[in-house]
Structure 1
Amino acid sequence: MTDRRGLLIILSSPSGAGKSTLARRMRAWDDSIVFSVSATTRAPRHGEVEGEDYHFLSDSTFKKQVSQGGMLEHAHVFGNFYGSPKGPVWDAISEGKDVLFDIDWQGAQQITNSDLGLHTLSIFLLPPSIAALRSRLESRGQDTPDTIAKRMQKSWDEISHWGGYDFVLVNDDLDATEARLISIIKAARLRRSQQPSLTAHVRKLQDEFEDGNHDAL
């Protein structure tokens, strides 16, 4: 056990609000932050590596892990299961590493309500405006107008759940948002729940007090 227990950092946002860019910046800022590797029942795509891109599981194995409480969160999407295995996350935070989750509000809610919820830090990113969000989606040049319209509707559905997060940042300037995000993480690392050595230290102080060492003060 290290002097610091890691955080489960949940980063959510509507598509186009800068979540992926900020997640990469967090990893560049501190390499003790690791990405959560999801599990899935879909087949590996060309070039995907087991344990790096996903943990590839059979339907039966995935469902067994869910029934045994082995998934922090899970969902059924387009005929396949996706989820966040609890074991690797617990191992990481026990080693003092923060685990970064790029998930939607439903997954965030499941993790916050899990038995590791005490160690979560949830952050939602808002765009400066709806026009800016649409512009970012259009500038990618990857989607048809119909697809963009669907993405915008989904984005609004995501935004409507902003109130369920610990912190909410308006990403109107990427560098400024990164600085605020780092400040939040630094502060959260000092939570009582993240410092397992505090209990032993307080017991030591108690022993000193009961031994009469306070008389010398």
Structure 2
Amino acid sequence: MKESFFSVFQISVVLTEGSSLLPSYAKKELWPYYQIKCDLKCMYGYKTDMEGQYFCKCYDPCENIYCHSSSKCVVNVPKRTDCDWSSCKAKAFCQETKTRPKKKNRKKYLWHLDNTPQRDDGSVTSSEKGHGVCHMPLEEEAKKCTKLRKRWYFDPISGQCRKFRGCRTGGNNFGRKKRCKRKCLSKTKLAKRKGHSRGRKSRRFIK
């Protein structure tokens, strides 16, 4: 019986500093876009859900920016050379136009600007801070996708995280039940525990 000998060759690739296997246009900050299949050509990239995952819908920086009648929404696109994980998305802000209010309405105008909810780059408005997102209705687009997967949303009427089959969207839409509970039930449970412990202490004092 003849013995067989096998030789194992290991090929290693050494990359110099600053080089990459990806093409020049596929930089590190752009790699999440290659994880989803989407035919849309979006000028400012794709939207993200509550968990920071991209889904096939164009991101509009001015969508949730509310400007005064004498100002307009302006989009500032960062240069690719300066782009990193924190500043890759386009920034939107209100820019005042040439028309300015008269002096007697100036105070009211400034107060309105300070108290106007504005949002850009995926941050939430004042109405959605904390647990406000848990009271938002489930978007209809979440159930209209082709690939239906098990997801969760918070039902404020029953106070529970309920299951549905759909896809990722913004707002009240979670990929896992524990994330829904952590976002929408953590503070309510904590409040109940505090109230329960206070009740115990009061009963002990009465005895």
Q: Do these two structures clear the TM 0.5 threshold for a shared fold by scoring above it?
A: no
More helix by share: 1
Greater RCO, CA 8 A, separation 6+: 1
TM-score range relative to shorter protein: under 0.3
